[in-house]
């Protein structure tokens, strides 16, 4: 079950761990004839051993008949590639990202300060205190304490503040700010070239920051005596700024840098075809060297205790390898069957990409059709992705509750959210639709829905209230 939860992006690492721990398990293409040489001497030099003292009862009943049978290659057959496109997986190349981290970028710019070793260490401490999003949220006094206790450097808050102001001139603009207001102001001051709207934007963020964030534009206009066109110019200047200057260059964990699909769905002349991403599941098999040692032991006539101990060890490793191969096979089969059922259930969506065609679907629906436990379906849906011609989706995307229409038909809440999103997208931004109006429009379309439900769906879609959607 644990293997079922592992996404394709991490499966390769899990298999590598098992290969390192179990010498009886190997990848088919990497097989070498010397596998198991560390134990082969146990059989090659068997005539040199004398019968060991003590009872051998615990080793007398070792049954290795199933391991020495001919024709048992144990080659994995769980790849489940599409027979019509056998080379499709081989053409998919994993992208690799070459990057410089955000903090490395800042440290590279320290050379421009032209400072002595002591000042450089203070500056490095400041840079090290900057968060990944580009903000310096550590208090100046705390930075001074860190320097005193960890590096034995005495400094003052004034000296640290002076260096912070210099670091705030680094790229990306807005770095080392203590809050959003300071971050945006730093960027605006960098843009000052006699442009009136930039100077006005600085005044807005300096004296009316709260009003601006809450879109109380009338108060700003009255306070600074601005007409609508001037306010528009100010807003255009501010919305172009970057609220997270470190976000564009922050080093990202490679496992999270790219979405690696677990499934691929293609439309072949109106027929949906499903295939698993088997790139990170190599062909596994039992080591031939270990199997050969068991055969040699079976052919021998004299079997001392030391040899039997070695055989027991080999048998345990082979059993573990077989179990792992079976677990991988079961994982792939369960993934395929579950995704195939989801594909059939949401057939119209995978053909058209239209979210309004999604049917209400819960875990129980798929569990009943696959004869799997609900918890098993949940594990498959967790952290798994499917690539379609319309984009790549989380499997969780296809699960939604149902909602009744006026005609008594059950529709997916995903469909309702899509229509809600379309209504908001098509609204007049000068007069955005309130939740009450959105409720009326949905009810006119036949969806029985309450205003509080509309508000909940809007929040789930990360869409702000009407007042915050208003534009001039």
Q: Alpha-carbon distance 378 to 345, whole Å?
A: 16
Entry pTM: 0.54
Burial class of residue 427 in the structure, from the number of CB atoms within 10 Å of its CB (0-12 exposed, 13-18 middle, 19+ buried): middle
User: Which residues on neighbouring strands pair with residue 273, listed in sequence order?
Assistant: 266
Rounded Cα gap, residues 347 and 359, in angstroms: 9
Give which of 381, 375, 373, 342 is closest to 359, Cα–Cα: 342
- Cα separation, 1 vs 3, whole angstroms: 5
- Of 11, 17, 1, 2, the closest CA to residue 276 belongs to 11
CB atoms near residue 59 (< 10 Å): 17
Secondary structure, 3-state, 192-215:
CCCCHHHHHHHHHHHHCHHHHHCC
Pairwise CA distance, residues 338 & 378, whole Å: 10
Does the N-terminal peptide bond of residue 89 adopt cis geometry, omega within 30 degrees of 0?
A: no
Q: Which residue has the tokens 């200047």?
A: 237
Helix, coil or strand: residue 285: strand
The DSSP call for residue 326 is: H
Contacts 24+ apart (CB under 8 A), 458-461: 458/420, 458/424, 460/417, 461/417, 461/420, 461/421
The Cα–Cα gap between 81 and 263 comes to 11
**In this predicted structure, what is the pLDDT of residue 116?**
87
Distance of alpha carbon 132 from alpha carbon 180, whole angstroms: 14
Nearest to 388 by CA among 268, 470, 285: 268
Q: What is the pLDDT along the chain (472 residues), one digit of tens a residue?
A: 577 777 777 888 888 888 888 888 888 764 444 444 444 444 454 444 444 444 445 445 555 555 555 554 444 444 444 444 444 444 444 444 455 688 888 988 987 776 788 999 999 999 999 998 999 999 999 999 999 998 999 999 999 999 999 999 999 999 999 999 999 999 999 988 778 999 999 999 999 999 999 888 999 999 999 998 999 999 999 999 999 998 765 444 444 457 789 899 999 999 999 998 876 567 888 888 877 777 776 666 656 677 777 778 888 888 888 898 888 888 889 999 999 999 999 999 999 998 888 888 989 999 999 999 998 898 888 878 999 999 999 998 899 877 767 666 677 788 888 899 999 999 998 889 999 999 999 988 888 888 898 999 899 889 988 888 887 6
* pLDDT value at residue 199: 93
Q: What is the rounded radius of gyration, in angstroms, for the C-alpha atoms of the chain?
A: 33
């Amino acid at each position: 079950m644990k293997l079922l939860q592992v996404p394709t992006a991490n499966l390769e690492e899990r298999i590598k761990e098992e290969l390192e721990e179990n010498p009886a398990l190997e990848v088919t293409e990497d097989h070498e004839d010397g596998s198991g040489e560390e134990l082969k001497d146990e059989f090659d030099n068997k005539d040199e051993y004398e019968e060991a003292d003590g009872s051998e009862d615990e080793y007398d009943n070792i049954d290795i008949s199933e391991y020495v049978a001919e024709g048992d290659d144990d080659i994995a057959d769980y790849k489940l590639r599409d027979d019509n496109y056998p080379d499709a997986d081989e053409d998919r190349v994993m992208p690799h990202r070459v990057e410089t981290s955000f903090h490395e970028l800042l440290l590279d710019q320290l050379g421009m300060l032209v400072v002595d070793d002591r000042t450089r260490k203070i500056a490095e401490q400041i840079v090290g205190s900057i968060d990944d999003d580009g903000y310096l949220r550590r208090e100046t006094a705390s930075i001074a304490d860190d320097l005193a206790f960890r590096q034995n450097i005495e400094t003052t808050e004034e000296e640290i503040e002076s260096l912070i102001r210099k670091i705030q001139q680094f790229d990306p603009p807005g770095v080392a700010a203590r809050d959003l207001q300071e971050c945006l102001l730093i960027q605006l001051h960098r843009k000052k070239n006699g442009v009136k709207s930039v100077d006005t934007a600085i005044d807005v963020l300096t004296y009316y920051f709260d009003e601006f964030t809450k879109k109380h534009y009338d108060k700003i206009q009255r306070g600074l005596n601005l007409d609508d066109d001037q306010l528009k110019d100010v807003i255009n200047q501010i919305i172009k700024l970057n609220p997270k200057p470190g976000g564009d260059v922050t080093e990202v964990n490679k496992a999270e840098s790219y979405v690696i699909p677990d499934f691929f769905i293609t439309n072949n002349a109106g027929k949906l075809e499903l295939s698993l991403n088997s790139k990170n599941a190599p062909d596994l098999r039992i080591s031939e060297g270990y199997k050969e040692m068991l055969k040699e032991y079976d052919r021998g006539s004299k079997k001392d205790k030391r040899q039997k101990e070695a055989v027991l060890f080999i048998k345990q490793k082979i059993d573990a390898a077989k179990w792992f191969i079976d677990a991988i096979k079961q994982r792939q089969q369960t993934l395929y069957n579950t995704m195939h059922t989801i594909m059939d259930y949401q057939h119209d969506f995978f053909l058209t990409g239209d979210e309004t065609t999604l049917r209400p679907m819960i875990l129980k629906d798929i569990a009943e059709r696959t004869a799997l436990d609900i918890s098993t379906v949940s594990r498959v849906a967790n952290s798994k992705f499917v690539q379609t011609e319309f984009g790549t989706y989380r499997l969780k995307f296809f699960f939604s509750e149902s909602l009744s229409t006026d005609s008594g038909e059950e529709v997916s809440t995903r469909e309702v959210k899509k229509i809600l999103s379309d209504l908001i997208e098509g609204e007049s931004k000068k007069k955005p639709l309130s939740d009450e109006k959105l409720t009326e429009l949905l009810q006119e379309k036949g969806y029985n829905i309450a205003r509080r439900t509309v508000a909940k769906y809007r929040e789930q879609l990360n869409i702000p209230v009407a007042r915050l959607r208003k534009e001039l």
